[in-house]
Structure 1
Amino acid sequence: MGRTEAQAGGSPIAPAVERDSGRASRTAVLFPGMGRFDFASAGRFLVLDRYARARLAVADEVLGFSVLERFHDAGADYSEYAQLAFLIASLAAADRAEDRFGMRPDVCAGASFGQKAAAAYAGSLDFPDVVRMTAELARCEKEYFTTEHSDVVTHAVYRVPDEEFHALLDEMRARGDWFEISGELDRGFYMVSLPESRLEDFIRAVRDLGGYSMYTMRPPVHARAFGALRRKAEAEVFTKYRIKAPRLPVISDADGTVVESAEAMRTMLLDTFDRAIHWPAMVTSMAGLGVDTLHVTGADDMFHRLNCTARAFDVLTVNPKNALRPGPPKLRSRAA
């Protein structure tokens, strides 16, 4: 289960494979951020997939309870048990991609919640430790948002005209409305944190611009206003764990920085609390390293579909929906 030292390689970036064009070709693995995730969509994979069962067995022993049973009963999209199940499903998908489909990535990336799986896959955290950390961070966040920013949500919008959208944000700012951009995912695709009391007005204004609403996250994520949560997580959770240097380059989801040291990995994991994610910067960084094939391992309805992803990479997805189907996953070639 998981990557061996031989697979990880001894150099920061594994030897490149030359294509007919003569251009260096490298592969990356992406652990996606967590969207809506429940037992109905992932339960069959977790029950039947041998890689998932192996991961679950370790997690159950570490935690002292059945993750699968509690995930089945949880209900809430972002509950502690849904987060644990999402982590396990993401790493099990990577195990399957390695063992069954020959995935050998040169670069690793994790967007938002996917950073935890990326840290484990890259060897910065042992799998038992990342399981414990995930559970403890879920409880830490729940405790924090019970008393702080309890009225704030993060809402995703897409296909908004950029100039008009930023004019809308300027109007909100001029009125004294609090908000923060918590993520930029593609042209016209943003995550915005704001008070829930203002959410309906915001959705209506986005619709008037011709944009669409995607989903709302509770609790909210990735905002400078949550600096106290970062400090709480660092003091109460991160001090318990030894974070090591990654065995292969990891791409920061805040700005696309290449993470290669233990301290930089620790900073990246903490940045998720109070820094917005920027997927286009991650795409640019991976492309700059010579990546042209991207494996997306885990439940993902978004990152592999984004225009900037499709333009930059050939994409293969291994997820709870397709992992149990016969044959290898279908390659989506880059858009012309």
Structure 2
Amino acid sequence: MYEKNQATAFPGMGPTPYHQVADFMTDHPYARDLVALADDVLGHDLLAHYRDSPTDYSAAAQVAFLVNCLASARWAEHEQGVRPALLAGASFGAKAAAIRSGALDAADGIWLTAQIARLETEYFADHHGDLVTLSFVRTPRPELDRILDELADWHEISCHIDDDFFMVTVRRDKLEWLRRRLRAAGGLPLYDTDPPMHVSLFGDLRDRVAAELLPRITIRDPELPVVADYDGSHRTTADGIRAMLLDGLVTPVHWPEVVRSLRAAGITRLCVAGPDALFGRVGVTRRAFEVVAASPRSAMHAGETA
């Protein structure tokens, strides 16, 4: 059953400290079942590896984020009446969307997430160490275009999040110049991401995922269409899901295009499932939909007040 005006979106990954989600992953039944599955797939204790992760984006942290997104969606559907007719996933969230759609089994999705994290670690140890992705707000596109023209150096827009919210990848030696120039124009630089993300130069990484990982899992036609995060197209076949997972490595996220696509399909209520501090909160999302936040925190709070 689904409601034709409802969709679920899975957010891009941000740093999520273990202590913020430990109780949810340990005690909540929807999360606990997925953690047990991840333990079996990975062959080790996910929570222990996550707790001891040396970085915010370790393989364990990425699998934990995936588990928390899927568990949050299950809670929203079973306990909060969310019945999505469409799915979307921003950046990392595309993996969760593929699983929820039925195109991937959860076990295959967990394995794929861990293996992509491994490949990325290997790849970026030897490639593109001179690149970094900077996120910033309060910079409308016309002003950003002027700044990038002044940069007069290689760059790519990696994410378009809102009307004045972007992520741009530049050479590391241009990072401080870009920060200063954005501030001078009234912008607010937020944080940089290293290794960088969603850059066309990463074709070799895409090819390795296609050749080494995807042949080892089963991808089916999805039961629910998935909106691709870079062009708003509706993916309804196994080939479409496969291309979406691969192309996301080398193609910029265009969240306003996802919003436009969902609105054109008649979506008025959007559940954002997972630990999210961005995609469900930006203006382009809030103006377009009634947003339902389904996070580990909200699921635990609901259990305490039930």
- Sort the TM-score into its range (normalised by shorter chain): over 0.9
Structure 2 unmatched ranges of 5 or more: none
Residue equivalent to 2:121: 142
The question of whether the paired residues in 1 share the 8 Å contact of 2:155 and 2:169 is answered with yes
The residue that corresponds to 1:62 in the other structure is 41
Aligned residue for 1:332? none
Match of 1:293 among 250, 269, 277: 269
1:249 corresponding residue in structure 2: 225
Within the candidate set 164, 169, 174, 1:193 is matched to 169
| Paired residue type of 2:276 | D
Which residue pairs with 1:334 in the alignment? Answer: none
Aligned to 1:108: 87
CA contact (8 A) 1:38 1:75 kept: no
Structure 1 equivalent of residue 253 of structure 2: 277
217-226 or 296-305, which deviates more? 217-226
Please give the alpha-carbon distance, in whole angstroms, between the structure 2 residues aligned to 1:261 and 1:47.
Answer: 35
The 1:232–1:178 alpha-carbon spacing in structure 2 relative to 1, beyond 3 Å, is: same
* Residue 328 of structure 1: how far off its partner (Å): 11
What is the CA–CA distance in structure 2 between the aligned matches of 1:255 and 1:167, rounded to whole Å?
24
Structure 1, 202-211 or 158-167: larger mean CA deviation: 158-167
Distance of 2:51 and 2:22 partners within structure 1: 8
TM-score under structure 2 length normalisation? 0.96
Q: CA RMSD in A?
A: 1.5
User: Secondary structure, in 3 states, of the residue corresponding to 2:52?
Assistant: helix
1:215 matched residue in structure 2: 191
Q: Deviations over 1:24-79 (max 9, x none)?
A: xx100001000122213222221222211111001101111011100000031111
Match of 1:205 in 2: 181
Amino acid at match of 2:81: G
Deviates more, 1:288-297 or 1:94-103: 94-103
Secondary structure at the aligned position of 1:115 is classed as: helix
User: Are 1:313 and 2:253 an aligned pair?
Assistant: no
Post-superposition Cα deviations, 1:260-300, rounded to whole Å, max 9, x if no partner, equal 11111100110111100100000000011110000000011
Q: Where does 1:174-189 land on structure 2 (aligned, <5 Å)?
A: 177-189=153-165
Identity of aligned residues (%): 41
For 1:179 and 1:269, how far apart are their aligned partners in 2?
Answer: 23
Residue 77 of structure 1 aligns to which amino acid in structure 2?
D
Map of 2:8 onto structure 1: 29
> TM-score, normalised to structure 1's length?
0.88
Aligned residue-pair number: 305
Q: What secondary structure does 1:74 align onto? A: coil
Shift of 1:83: 0.2
SS at match of 2:75: helix
1:125-175 deviations in whole A, cap 9, x for unaligned? 0000001100100001111100010222211111113322211101113xx
The verdict on how the C-alpha distance between 1:297 and 1:328 changes in structure 2, with shifts beyond 3 A counting, is farther
- In 1, are the aligned partners of 2:135 and 2:166 still within 8 Å (CA)? yes
1 CA distance for matches of 2:212 and 2:199?
Answer: 20
Say if 1:328 and 1:32 are closer, same or farther in 2 by CA, change over 3 A: farther
Segments of structure 1 that go 5 or more residues without pairing to the other structure are 1-6, 8-13, 17-25, 330-336
Supply the distance in 2 between the matched residues of 1:138 and 1:205 (Cα, whole angstroms).
33
Distance in 2, matches of 1:248 and 1:157, equals: 33
Aligned structure 1 segments of 4 or more residues deviating by more than 6 angstroms: none
